[in-house]
Amino acid sequence: MAQNRDQAMAFMTSTTPRLAISKALITTAVSVAILSGCAGPHDQLTTGGIPDDYRARHPIIVTEAEQTVDIPVASTDRRLTIAQRDLIRGFAANYISRASGPVYVLSPEGSPNSAAAHQLRNQVRAELASRGIASSKIINTSYAAAGAGDAAPIRLSFTGTTAITTQCGQWPKDISNDFANQNYYNFGCATQNNLAAQVANPEDLVAPRGMTPIDAQRRNNAIQEYRTTTSTIEDVAGSDSSF
């Protein structure tokens, strides 16, 4: 029995360091794998395959749409005010840059200010013509006011190219129960709408414009200044100027 006990103790003594070394090696290997995963490059195929781009969900589209401007008219107005003329000038500039079709001048019918709007309609036509819109393209028409007590405006309208995107405020999913770690559906919609509204020429989203001719005089002045200037950065730094 003593001999068997001595053999068992010898076996345990010889195997214990091996087990400790094996556990240490496994722990080290796992740690290295974790650190290398954090420091290594991201998996572009997996991450890039997630459809989570707000520009794809809310694309900006160049299409035809109706452009309207309402000119408020009081029942006592007999001539266009400065504010009304500013609205007409802005509308005319927008039309010239975006369209070439007819322009509609809609005056209200059945409202308390209908007589004043009908009288101002000719002044609106004259203001549009003075801004470069041909009289043959200006069409007078009317529309029914919503109610007898409404002070309906004079409405200017044309159809032209416009940059638009999807309507904001849509929530098809409950974001409180979404654990996909992706942007919610309405994310980026307001940014896309603002960008579409701020584009001066929607056709710039389709193709770039041609380059304007160079200013030869300005180019010659710049080259001449470059050739005649001898000061260096060291000279400027060593001067007494506050620059």
CATH number for the domain spanning 94: value is 3.30.1330.60
155 and 187 fall within a common domain: no
CB atoms within 10 A of CB 239: 10
Q: Residue 226: what pLDDT?
A: 87
Structural domain contains residue 86 = yes
Q: Residue 179: what pLDDT?
A: 77
Nearest CA to 56 out of 181, 175, 161, 182 is that of 182
Domain total of the chain = 2
109 and 176 fall within a common domain: no
Nearest CA to 96 out of 200, 194, 205, 210 is that of 200
For residue 41, give both structure tokens: 């490059």
Domain boundary among the residues 161, 194, 216 is at 161
pLDDT at residue 127 above 90?
yes
CB atoms within 10 A of CB 223: 10
Q: What is the mean pLDDT of residues 8-14?
A: 50
Q: What is the mean pLDDT of residues 138-162?
A: 86
95 and 175 fall within a common domain: no
Structural domain contains residue 232 = no
CB atoms within 10 A of CB 17: 9
130 and 149 fall within a common domain: yes
Structural domain contains residue 210 = no
Q: Residue 54: what pLDDT?
A: 86
152 and 188 fall within a common domain: no
pLDDT at residue 202 above 80?
yes
Structural domain contains residue 2 = no
CA geometry: angle at 108 spanning 102 and 113, to 5°?
135
Structural domain contains residue 182 = yes
157 and 173 fall within a common domain: no
> What is the per-residue pLDDT across 37-57, written as a single tens digit (0 to 9) for each?
554 555 444 544 555 788 888
98 and 131 fall within a common domain: yes
81 and 154 fall within a common domain: yes
Structural domain contains residue 46 = no
135 and 194 fall within a common domain: no
126 and 156 fall within a common domain: yes
Q: Residue 70: what pLDDT?
A: 94
CA atoms within 13 A on the CB side of 13: 6
Structural domain contains residue 1 = no
84 and 136 fall within a common domain: yes
For residue 118, give its domain range: 64-161
Strands (E), the chain: 61-71, 103-109, 138-144, 154-164
- Distance from C-alpha of 243 to C-alpha of 239, rounded to nearest angstrom: 9
Flag whether the pTM goes above 0.75.
no
86 and 175 fall within a common domain: no
Q: What is the mean pLDDT of residues 182-195?
A: 90
